[in-house]
Amino acid sequence: MPTPAIEIRNLTVCFHGKRIWNHFSMQVDPGERVALDGRSGVGKSTLLQCLMGFVIPEEGTVLINGQALTRESVWTLRTLMAYVPQEPDLGSGNLRQWFAAPFSFRMNSRRRKNLDRLPGLLERFLLPEDLLDQDVSRLSGGEKQRAAIISAILLDRKIFLLDEPTSAMDRVAGKAVLDFFRSMSGRTVLAVSHDPAVLEMADRIINVS
């Protein structure tokens, strides 16, 4: 059997003194699309943040491609994953600068050629190319969500952690995003969503109510 892309073993997480995950375990196989479904406030978004090392669990183990997520490994493992929050913060400047910024870091510099794919990806995600010269503060929520997904694609991330990825998009834009993930091979997706279209895109749904 292949090594799981994501494996969670007996995870216990407390937030503001409240236990929101108690000895929770799950795994996602390479290339699998999994959706987490459940009522608001149950801790689904926090689970994604645990996978990125943003939230430290009280107990349990997180493994990415078989490697335990620790203080020593977190920076390396983050280069395998893309976390797209419900409301991405793109900072300041124009969108062209924002897309280019990650490639100034040594770990991403060898992928700089991937920026040549940007026009095609903008078209696929129904974003006009003149948006690149727009200040990021003026982008809509749906435009920011799509920009964050495109950035992860350009950086060759293998694991996508998506938090309500279509929540700020209209139906047409949301369909373009989900069609991309349906057609994508060799990428693993773990999505948190209440959107029936996202749940339909998944190979498997985990209900965490």
DSSP letter string, 115-159: GGGHHHHHHHTT--GGGGGSBGGGS-HHHHHHHHHHHHHHTT-SE
* Cα–Cα separations (whole angstroms), residue 203 to 32, 34, 45, 186, 195: 7, 6, 20, 14, 15
The closest of 107, 110, 127 to 118, measured between CA atoms, is 127
The CATH classification number of 6-207 equals 3.40.50.300
pLDDT by position in tens, the chain (length 209): 789 999 999 999 987 788 889 999 999 999 999 999 988 878 899 999 999 999 999 999 999 999 999 999 999 999 999 999 999 999 999 999 999 999 998 888 899 999 999 999 999 999 999 999 999 999 999 999 999 999 999 999 999 999 999 999 999 999 999 999 999 888 999 999 989 999 999 999 999 87
Q: How far apart are CA 25 and CA 9, in angstroms?
A: 5
Q: What pLDDT does 186 receive? A: 87
Q: What pLDDT does 41 receive? A: 79
The closest of 122, 111, 115, 72 to 97, measured between CA atoms, is 115
Q: What pLDDT does 184 receive? A: 87
* Cα–Cα separations (whole angstroms), residue 195 to 16, 37, 45, 47, 178: 28, 9, 15, 18, 11
Q: What pLDDT does 68 receive? A: 97
User: What are the extents of the domains in the chain?
Assistant: 6-207
- C-beta of residue 151 within 8 angstroms of C-beta of residue 198: no
Q: What pLDDT does 42 receive? A: 83
Q: Tell me the whole-structure pTM to 2 decimals.
A: 0.94
Q: How far apart are CA 159 and CA 186, in angstroms?
A: 9
Can you read off the two tokens belonging to residue 26? 């799950």
Q: What pLDDT does 113 receive? A: 95
Query: Which residues lie below 8 Å from residue 10, measured CB to CB, with a gap of 6+?
Result: 23, 24, 25, 59, 60, 61
Helix (H, G, I), strand (E, B) or coil at 208: coil
